Structure 1
Amino acid sequence: MNQHVVRDPSELITVVSYARTSEDSRQRDGHGVRYQLRINERIAHEQGCIVVAAYSDNGRSASKEGVLRPGFDRLVADLARGHIDGGQRVDGVVCVADDRLYRRAEDLSRFLAALTSRPGRIHVDPQGVRDPYSQEGLLQAVRSLEVAVTETRVRSRRVSDWHWARAAEGVPHSGPRPFGWQQDRITLHPAEAKLVEQAISDRIAGKAVRAIAADWCDLGVTGTRGGRANAQTVTQIITAPRVCGYRANRGELLLIPDTGQPVRGQWEPIVVPDQWHAVCATFSPGSLYLHRGSGAPRLTGQKRMAPRHLATGFLRCGAVRHEARC
């Protein structure tokens, strides 16, 4: 029969608990981090520790650069100063897995520096108590990082291949519905498709894209997310390959290997390919959807285009039109 050993609280090692999930898109109730924190409490109890503070980051990636993790930042700060709010000393950390703490070398470096900033600290996980100061403890942390990085790369590649395969079959883009199509992303939206077709014809005929955007605003037209039309959004809409039925992926037209012809999407096109090529020719390459649209690589390392008119950006037109200046 198992005996439950009751320890004197003064004999317990004080640790802080950390939990993280990469996403919480379904239930959106934080159950993932809640469960991890509960497991951390059990692990701490089994190893003669007591949790004095808990930190969590719900729905936050640890592998993507630039993602803020306030819980992790607070954990590192408290480890570095040696105590939590209220003055309680911190002797270690408990977490269900290393990849919850870090998936990037920068985060591992920050975590270890803070954890070992004072002597006698421990790192507790489901396998037991680890010594973060020893060579083996450091190697274990590095091995965990290598596994996490490899897993991230494999997952990223798998997701990328999945999107490519969908695109190669002409499946419509995911995300918000494109302007000009119904919610199924296949059937044309009668009113919006007519606007796009007219805008392409007008642009080919020489009409300024700002004038087209102004016309849309006068008509009360808004984008699929409710935003007002402007020159950039109109440009993106009318230069997107989807308007002529072509499928693109990450800024490139997909081609059929055997013929070299563009992959056709499963949706109804608004114009014919010749019209799409013609309207794209009226813009500089950096303005096109293929350079600025979703997933497209940005143009980098190129010089900015020179202004068309002398003193552009410094002088303002003083002409008066309808009791207002330009």
Structure 2
Amino acid sequence: MTNRSFTRRLRATATVLAGTACLTVAIQAPAGAASVSTWDKIAQCESTNNWSINTNNGYYGGLQISLSNWKSYGGTAYAARPDLATKKQQILIAEKILASQGARAWGCAPGTGLATDTAAPYPDGIGAYDPGTGTFYEGNQAGATLGSAKFGNAGWKPLAGDWTGKGTSSLGAYDPATGTFYLSNDNVNTAATIKFGNPGWIPLVGDWNGTGTSKIGAYDPNTATFYLSNDNVNTTTTVKFGNPGWIPLVGDWNGTGTYGVGAYDPNTGTFYEGNQAGATLGSAKFGNPGWTPLVGKWTGKGPSTIGAYDPSSGTFYLSNDNTNTAVTVTFGNPGWIPITGNW
């Protein structure tokens, strides 16, 4: 049935101070991605930018996504139908459709740049944890606060991960005294309580098998050994990487969706990227002594790249190429603990 309000619909219904870097991993564009501004153009054509529209024409929300597509691409993790989900959630599912079906899935695509826009809509953001109040503050790369929540207890280590594969990060915390992870799907309630590793180990979060959900891991600082779990129960991978005293890191270094291990040498300010076999993939110097190393997808696509946080000023320095500082932003207060996530 053709709705009078729309002439086009979704047609497819198929189910810093940086030193010299020597990283050789190239940034790879995903199969399909588009900026929010491009999705806004699609929505203007599809629904006059009404993200909650439902006219009973078989297509829903701002991007007029069919219910079959919504279910097939995981939209029900957000809401029963697209029109009941947020704009961001609709765009995240549209990204999956775009990657699978291409711009032809939307009759409105011609002239919007959807077929050629490779910018991801939601790059990883920054955040900070106030250990004095146990409060997380989520932010974007412009330094704006997106939200805040209290989670966990004093002395626990803050975490963030996409525990359910919904496309956005939510909070978690790790009790180093007991080696216990506490994971939240809604930033309020504890959805999972998991003991993994030994007391005193350092918690890790990454997608070790590339399924689209974050899993836990732990790092033994005495032996420089990573213990990674694909099911949040058993140790799937054990790998030594780096040296004792280095700071463990993880990242999607090749842009494949599967995370590898890494480490930061605080004595030289050097990042080392590795795979789950323990091989070194690259290295780079970035930031200054005493800064906290960071990893994220600051452009929202391709491999993970590095960053650094100056705890004395509460300033983030993010690099898109592992060499130059692309973003400098102050967020939170000195003494807070930096976190990153796709909020």
TM-score scaled to structure 2, two decimals? 0.25
Higher normalized helix content (fraction of residues): 1
Larger radius of gyration: 1
Instruction: Work out which structure has the larger RCO, using CA pairs closer than 8 Å and 6 or more positions apart in sequence.
Output: 2
Higher normalized strand content (fraction of residues): 2
TM-score scaled to structure 1, two decimals? 0.25
